[in-house]
Structure 1
Amino acid sequence: MFGDDGRAWPAERVDRHHRRTRHLARTDPTGCLLAEDSSGRPLGAVLSTRREGTWGLSLLVVHPDAQGGGLGRTLLDAALEHGKACLRALLCSSGDPAAARLYRRAGFDLHPAMRLRGTVDADGLAPPDGPVAPGSAGAFDLLDSVDRRLRGGAHGPDHRELLRDFRLLVCDDLAGSGYCYVTPDGPDVKVELLAATSRRLASRLLTAALLTVEPGARVRVDDLTAEQQWAVDVGLDAGLRVENGGYVCVRGMRPPAPYIPSGAYL
């Protein structure tokens, strides 16, 4: 497997991807489908989840040999049928025109997204304006409460899986509540998911996450819609560059804010 920059994924990232796939298929098997040809060769797959009142698309892939024949739309339609009882739907798309066309024709609003890339200049970041603490499974009820407020449905079992692979930061005080999952260490760091009840708390969490990054590590913060200017401001202060980066697609809702979605767990 290869990233957007053409570099092969490290073994731990491949393992995390496989475990994520098994987790989604185990917790919502009806929304996870595999298409095969007559010989049993895989041609495409879709991973989708229902989390309370919100449907999310984690993965939609079609083998190059099968592209252009409508298989992608067939898989998406089947996943959407699985989520038809949900009032809200959310997915993160690449900038590929065919993908954008597919999701728009399925009734999604496409919100152009930005991403942050680079290495952190800690000298440009002011200290967080309040306490941020390491989180644990004991905070899951708090996290689900924030989820329901922002995206209409808790992540539920996804939090336990996220905690296996990412470091959890939590803030909870009179100003509100929020959380952030970030890669624990290594040369490649990603802010996987962030949700907060105010932009102030969201900025505090993102600042705290970036300040824990090892010097020289490559940082990724993806899928920032126009509503997430607070995140752009923090990223610019940290010396990260802003790039165009696909779409956040929603149906029956506005893009959650302040919020940085996870492409896998939405």
Structure 2
Amino acid sequence: MILRPLRPTAADAEAVRTVTAAAFVDLDTRPWPPGRIDRHHRRALHLAERDPDGCWIAEDAQGRPVGTVLASIREGTWGLSLLAVGREAQGEGVGKALLTRALEYGRGCLRGVICSSDHPAAVRAYRAAGCDLHPAMRLTGEVRHAGLAAPDGPVAPGGPDRFDLLDSVDRRLRGGARGSDHHELLRHFRLLVCDDLAGSGYCYYSPDGGIELLAATSRRLATRLLTTALLGMDDGAEVEATGLTAEQQWAVDVGLAAGLRVSAGGFVCLRGMRPPTPYVPSGAYL
């Protein structure tokens, strides 16, 4: 096995996607739509450019990619965006070697965040790395607008001119702003922003049914943002929101009102910090 830095090239971005598809085939057997492929490629390219010491790929003796890791550092907050090992290489120490490189990259950081599946090996590795494991829930199902109360205040579409506000919210909730990550998020998702006397907050979502990221300074604003995002989707659209720790009961309440199902959904693994709230993490940008 050879470990090498991930290059910000189309070929390496596709190698990351191929390994990811091979690693999680049991969890998601659906064909990847073009939008998902593009998001995956863009994440690999962005992080390889911004965090070259945190992004690695493992190759076998024939030069074929068998594993990858993507890690980032933003203002002292380290995040593990992806750790994937193809089925044929699992159990051979590839994941451990990749995680070691990612952890070395974040050694000087006070805080760390990982959104993990419930795979036993992953959970064991993240706990051994010093993370506290916070069981998470997911919301899934068809959204029903009729069950949602009208938002209790204004929500506006956001753009790059609001990134300073977003960074301010992130510093308060997770200890570090995302900076250029917001450019990538805005490339693929719609942005909603609240900013009034009650506080500030934002939400990235897809009209196709995904809640990608939500952060706010109060539960009231978080409820307003999530409600507005769900109302911005077609009635009956398939919705998914993941990474909801026990502190996010406000999100559970909104999801249940919208007719969504609540189920167990992996862990949010944190080091040096308590679960941010109110907050719905991004699996890719944490």
Corresponding residue of 1:76: 99
- State how far apart, in whole Å, the 1-side matches of 2:283 and 2:271 are: 16
- For the pair 1:10 / 2:33, whether they are aligned, the reply is yes
Q: Give 1:210's aligned amino acid.
A: L
Q: Which runs of 4+ in 1 moved over 3 A?
A: 1-5
Does structure 2 conserve the Cα–Cα contact (< 8 Å) formed by 1:115 and 1:245? yes
The answer as to whether partners of 1:94 and 1:246 remain within 8 angstroms in 2 is yes
Question: In 2, distance between residues paired with 1:239 and 1:72?
Answer: 38
Q: Deviations for 1:128-173, whole angstroms, at most 9, x for unmatched residues? A: 1111000010000000000000000001000011001000000000
Query: In the comparison of the two structures, how many residue pairs are matched?
Result: 263
Shift in Å, 1:69: 2.1
1:125-136 superposed matches below 5 A: 125-136=148-159
After superposing the two structures, state which structure 1 stretch, 29-38 or 144-153, moved more. 29-38
**Matching residue of 2:246:** 226
SS of match in other structure, 1:226: coil
- With the length of structure 1 as denominator, give the TM-score of the two structures: 0.96
Q: Percent identity?
A: 68
Distance 1:224 1:258 in 2: 10
- The one-letter code matched in structure 2 to 1:211 is L
Distance 1:255 1:36 in 2: 35
Distance 2:201 2:250 in 1: 14
Question: 1:9 and 1:39 mapped to 2: Cα distance?
Answer: 27
Distance in 2 between the 1:173 and 1:94 partners?
36
SS of structure 2 residue aligned to 1:227: coil
Query: Is the 1:119–1:239 contact (alpha carbons within 8 Å) kept by the matching residues of 2?
Result: yes
Residue 68 (structure 1) shift: 1.1
Map of 1:198 onto structure 2: 218
- Residue 51 of structure 1 corresponds to 74
Structure 2 unaligned blocks of 5 or more = 1-20
Residue 149 in structure 1 maps to residue 160 in structure 2 = no
Question: What are the residue-to-residue correspondences of 1:1-266 with 2, within 5 Å?
Answer: 1=21, 4-183=27-206, 185-186=207-208, 189-266=209-286
CA contact (8 A) 1:3 1:9 kept: no
- 2:36 partner SS: helix
Q: What is the aligned-residue RMSD (CA, Å)?
A: 1.2
Question: Alpha-carbon deviation of 1:107?
Answer: 1.1
Structure 1's unaligned 5+ residue stretches are none
Moved more, 71-80 or 125-134: 71-80
| SS of match in other structure, 2:235 | coil
TM score, norm. by length of structure 2: 0.89
CA contact (8 A) 2:144 2:236 kept: no
